[in-house]
Structure 1
Amino acid sequence: MARQLDLLRALLRPRAEIPGQGLLGPSTTTMRVRPADLDIYLHVNNGVYLQMMDVARTNYIADLGGFGLFKAKGWYPVVAAQTVSYRRSLTLGQRFEIRTSVVGWDERVIYLEQIFSRDGEHCARGLVAGRFLSRGSTERVPAPQVVELLGRDVVEPDLPKDVADWARAMGVAHKPVGTAS
């Protein structure tokens, strides 16, 4: 519940836009592990990681100045798929960072990587496939339109192979015309 309040705060009172922040540049969110984040094994509960990732993605949008742009268009983000892999536990009181970066996109989905680290040590990695929807309709906003709005002439990077493989396995990858379903 506490991280949901962090998300609400990040939405209602977003942090200031970072001048010059590029779509492909990383956004960093710093947090500290709280008692409510812990499971019975006294490390961060796996579900809490997802809530922390929500907060960090919201901060990423704020860093780009995206909230006003999305509001004007009537667009909002949703998660189509996400996966987290864990290497090191986070425990009570530890400070850590979540580095959020766009690693690519296709016709439907924008792919993000979210790296949790503590004192420079890799703790967890999240992959997220995000889509944008248009309020008041069932219309999905094509990812290149979102990129154009936020990125202003950004050059599309090659999607890392592991992310492309993951997207296909999760069933969220765009299937070009003429490919099997």
Structure 2
Amino acid sequence: MNMLIRFFIMVNLLKQQLKQQSVSEHLAIETLTTPTVRSYRILPHDMGFRHHLPNYRYLSFIELNITQWLMTCCHQKGIKNLGWVIAMQEMVYLKEIRFLDKMSVNSKLVGWDKKYIYFETRFFVKHQLMGVGMTKFVLINGKGKCAPEVLDMMDEQLSDAIESWNKHQVAVKPA
């Protein structure tokens, strides 16, 4: 329930900020790759039974950041009704995030291909890296899936890490 409250607070604050910005025809690569950074305090309802932030909560925080990034990009392009669906997500947990820690979530566009967009998210507490996540998602509109070109992401921008990750995904799929 608290993620829904956080989501609605984020959306309302973002809408207020975006009203002051103008709509542009093209998104600059700098706009697309500007990190989305949000901070959260870990509250009792975020906690798992082992007294630290459980795995599924990390993924929820990633979703909040990607939603903020997409809303900002759509506003700047004047696009309405563009959503996204996760195709694959992976987390590397380095340290536990505990009750009342102030966590900073830093998400950044790291690449795209003809179908998918790739984000890397880093979790920090007191400037110490606590976890890293990779998210692969597809954009959708009212007609179904749409290419990243809708956000001016032309050609392919894939790093070695993304290509390796995609090869692993293919390898783990059943034959």
Q: Report what 1:160 is aligned to.
A: 159
Q: Does 1:119 align with 2:126?
A: yes
CA distance in 1, matches of 2:166, 2:5: 30
For residues 11-46 of structure 1, what are the alpha-carbon distances to aligned partners after superposition, in whole Å with 9 as ceiling and x for unaligned?
Answer: 355252497961112111111111111111100011
Q: Report what 1:11 is aligned to.
A: 11
Q: Report what 1:56 is aligned to.
A: 65
**Counterparts of residues 20-59 of structure 1 (less than 5 Å):** 22-59=31-68
* Cα distance change on mapping 1:106 and 1:155 into 2, 3 Å: closer
Number of corresponding residues: 161
Structure 1 segments of 4 or more deviating over 6 A? Answer: 18-21
CA distance in 2, matches of 1:5, 1:167: 34
For residues 105-130 of structure 1, what are the alpha-carbon distances to aligned partners after superposition, in whole Å with 9 as ceiling and x for unaligned?
Answer: 00000100011011111101110111
Q: CA deviation at 1:155?
A: 8.7
* Cα distance change on mapping 1:9 and 1:90 into 2, 3 Å: same
* Cα distance change on mapping 1:167 and 1:9 into 2, 3 Å: farther
* Cα distance change on mapping 1:43 and 1:30 into 2, 3 Å: same
Contact in 2 for aligned 1:133/1:141 (Cα 8 Å): yes
Q: Secondary structure at the match of 2:98?
A: coil
TM-score, scaled relative to structure 2: 0.80
**Counterparts of residues 51-130 of structure 1 (less than 5 Å):** 51-62=60-71, 64-67=72-75, 69-71=78-80, 74-130=81-137
Q: Counting helix residues as a fraction of each chain, which structure ranks higher?
A: 2
CA distance in 2, matches of 1:66, 1:7: 17
TM-score, scaled relative to structure 1: 0.77
Q: What 5-or-longer segments of structure 1 have no aligned partner?
A: 172-180
Opposite residue 115 of structure 1, the aligned amino acid is: R
Opposite residue 146 of structure 2, the aligned amino acid is: V
How many percent identity over aligned positions?
A: 17
Q: Report what 1:175 is aligned to.
A: none
Q: Report what 2:148 is aligned to.
A: 143
